Chain A
Amino acid sequence: MRVLDYEIPDKLYYSKEHEWVHLEGKEAVVGITDYAQKQLHEIVYVEVQKEGSVVKQFETMGTVESVKSVSDIFSPVTGKISKVNNELTDSPELLNQDPYGKGWLAKISLTDFKKDMEKLLTPAQYADYIKTMET
């Protein structure tokens, strides 16, 4: 669905820190939302923790920088990073161009997604949340 100026795909889960989660069996692909990339604008640097790192839900898993600002990326789930999107090192602009596709950040082997899910938002909930941010 599209809310205001922002794309919010239906099959994903969302966090209030503007990350998305795509469930693939026991793994999750994570990234930042269209809203996040539009707020950051012109992303010029992305750093995600190394493969094998253990990350906890809502704790820092990396950093994203625009020309002027630095923001933390908070992992939307708990688990171990199994793969990092290395293309972002040379092409951080993929986060702006395709936040739900080529701009994915990492794959995470999930520890207990049922527990993570309790604190994540559905697309409809995230859409409502975005509306409150914009007013």
Chain B
Amino acid sequence: MSKALRRTHLYQFHKQNAKMIEFASFQMPIWYKGIIPEHMAVRTRVGIFDITHMGRALINGAKSEAFLNYVITNDASVLTPLSAQYSTMCNENGGVKDDLIVSRLEQERFLMVYNAANREKDYQWLLENAKAFNVEVEDASDNIAMFAVQGPNAQSTLQRIADTDLGKIERFKCGWTKLADVDGFVSRTGYTGEDGFEVFVLNTPLSNPQNAVKVWNAILKAGEEFGIEPCGLGARDTLRLEAGMCLYGNDIDEVTTPLEAGLGFVVKLKKDSFIGKDALTTQKTEGIKRKRVGLRMLEKGIPRPKQEVWKDNTQKIGFVTSGTFSPLLECGIAMAYISIEHAVEGETVMVKVRGKPLKAEIVKFPLYDPTKYGHARQR
């Protein structure tokens, strides 16, 4: 029997204002006004996303840090309280179980946020591996609402309803703050490439959604003067693709390693034993055979997942894992895995778009000009 689709606290808002789709067993908005205007709102002003469908686990105990350093590939020991890091979590073969953000709330208390599609898998994996460490792993997914407020005006928007100075929270740092008089937690992170915050409304179960709805509405109101738009999963996908961020299930999975995905910066091989370390060490020594690259179409046409990438029409060198139309660049863009000898920036390759070879250039991430867009833009 199929399970009923899950909803978030904002279901009524979404249903009234957005086109809805099923995603990871949730009913979620794909767009309100449209993917393109929502995308551009985030790149040029500010947008808000309901990302309550994501998985969240709290990890408590004296050995939390040691436990995390065993299950994730990044080094959690460098995290000071109220700071966050991106990481992968691997299987014994070095394949990616998931990618996630870990935040250190207190010395012995961490919050992990992972993909909606992996909620059950990750929680079980954490529980299983926590036994040896005597730490408590709590699935907090259903008790917390989570919104992403992203774009150059994200801070100005949130500051209007926050009771602490958000300017003091640097990128990949976190803080406790009231938002519209509701207890909240924010981290300066996101999935768009832009400056922005991920906002957590705590202790707000679905059965009692008032606080989540209150904060959501307050953010929309506070962002009015900046031209805020509620944004759906459609814009979330085009934004992350332009920024070069992986989508689990498309660009990374259990048979892809973080090294192949270009995520070597979150693999700390100098750490003590961690799951996947041996396999990743071997791969690092032998060298990767394929690599994730960015593609920008030089001809009209939109690359889509599973389409083949060829060199000179004679040699198949890889395949597309994510592809879309870039609202900012107004052309087709993609992520693809291609054999290492061909993974050279500036090279021209062919993407077989429905059988037709179309020229594309291998480009570095992000796909936009980082001096004009994204968190590092020159103001």
Contacts and interface: CB of A to CB of B under 8 A. Distances in A.
**A and B from one complex:** yes
Contacts of B99: none
From A41, A44, A70, A89, residue with most partner B Cβ within 10 Å? A44
A67 interface: yes
Contacts of B301: 45, 47
B81 interface: no
Interface string A39-66: 0011011010000000000000001011
B35 interface: yes
A68 B300 contact: no
B324 A68 contact: yes
Given A42-B34, A42-B36, A67 B300 contact: no
B271 interface: no
Given A41-B19, A45-B301, A89-B300, A67 B354 contact: no
Contact of B304 (A41, A47, A70): A70
Interface residues of B, number: 18
B30 A68 contact: yes
B323 to A, nearest CB: 10
**Closest 7 A-B residue pairs measured CB to CB?**
A44-B325, A67-B35, A67-B325, A42-B34, A65-B302, A45-B302, A42-B36
B234 A45 contact: no
Contacts of B332: 45
A67 B30 CA distance: 11
B327 interface: yes
B354 A68 contact: no
B35 A42 contact: yes
Nearest to B35: A67
Interface of B: 19, 30-31, 34-36, 234, 237-238, 300-302, 304, 324-325, 327, 332, 354
Interface residues of A, number: 12
Q: Label chain A's interface by main secondary structure.
A: strand
B226 to A, nearest CB: 23
Nearest to B304: A70
A60 to B, nearest CB: 10
A67 B19 contact: no
Contacts of A45: 300-302, 325, 332
Given A42-B36, A45-B332, A70-B354, 16 more contacts: A44-B325, A45-B325, A63-B354, A66-B35, A67-B35, A67-B36, A67-B238, A67-B324, A67-B327, A68-B30, A68-B234, A68-B237, A68-B324, A70-B302, A70-B304, A89-B300
A50 to B, nearest CB: 12
Contacts of A70: 302, 304, 354
Nearest to B19: A41
A84 to B, nearest CB: 14
10 contacts: A41-B31, A42-B34, A44-B302, A44-B325, A45-B332, A47-B301, A66-B35, A68-B234, A68-B237, A70-B354
